[in-house]
Amino acid sequence: MVLVVVMGVSGSGKSTVGSLLAKKLGWKFYDADDYHSDGNKLKMAKGIPLTDQDRIPWLGELHKIIREGLSSENIVLACSALKRVYRDILTNEESTALSQEVKKDEMPPSRPFFVHLDGSMELILQRLEKRKGHFMPSALLQSQFDTLEPLSAPEHFIIINVEKNVLDIVSEIERMLVKSNLEYLQ
């Protein structure tokens, strides 16, 4: 089965784009935000950036959920996945000592596709400041960009600028999936 990870800094649109994409494709949607511990949420709400140690258990839990789900369904995951090692933990690619903490299990044959929702600090800050009722303060946006490691080979990815509207972004991702000859139904 197929995994598409919609990633990027806070406010880039992961939840909005990811949920709409999953709905249009008829795939299962997971929002990584729903799996943050209360401690992590409290830390971010106080304006304190998460550390690798804060994120590892969270990513390990998401890895297990994805591995289980992929045995029977296609999945869209909205997850910041800011660092390469985080993406490796999610998809279980061997990389560094950090990922050793998540036991190596076999992963499904198809490679995950990453969609990086990319945009300027200025534009994303505007959107965060307009967003209501979310625990993540816009004050943490700089630390998100500081932590972000761009995707690189051999990761399979596309980069989409978030200046585009949500519907156009979702259509572009769908075109990418078709172009990559992914089976919609496996």
Ligand X SMILES: O=C(O)[C@H](O)[C@@H](O)[C@H](O)[C@H](O)CO
Ligand Y SMILES: Nc1ncnc2c1ncn2[C@@H]1O[C@H](COP(=O)(O)OP(=O)(O)OP(=O)(O)O)[C@@H](O)[C@H]1O
Under 8 Å CB-to-CB from 62, ≥6 apart: which residues?
A: 30, 32, 35, 77, 79, 90
Binding site for ligand X (CB under 6 A): 10, 33, 36, 44, 50, 55, 80, 82, 136, 144
| DSSP H or E stretch at residue 8 | none
Q: Is 127 a binder of ligand Y (CB under 6 A)?
A: yes
Query: Which one of the spans 21-29, 95-103, 161-169, 175-183 is the region binding ligand Y (CB under 6 A)?
Result: 161-169
Lay out the site mask for ligand Y across 64-103 (x = CB under 6 A, - = otherwise).
Answer: --------------x-x-----------------------
Question: What DSSP state is assigned to residue 23?
Answer: H
Q: Is 104 a binder of ligand Y (CB under 6 A)?
A: no
C-beta neighbour count of 62 within 10 angstroms: 23
Minimum CB distance to ligand Y smaller for 135 or for 184: 135
Residue 104 C-beta: closest distance to ligand Y, Å: 28
Under 8 Å CB-to-CB from 25, ≥6 apart: which residues?
A: 74, 76, 174, 177, 184
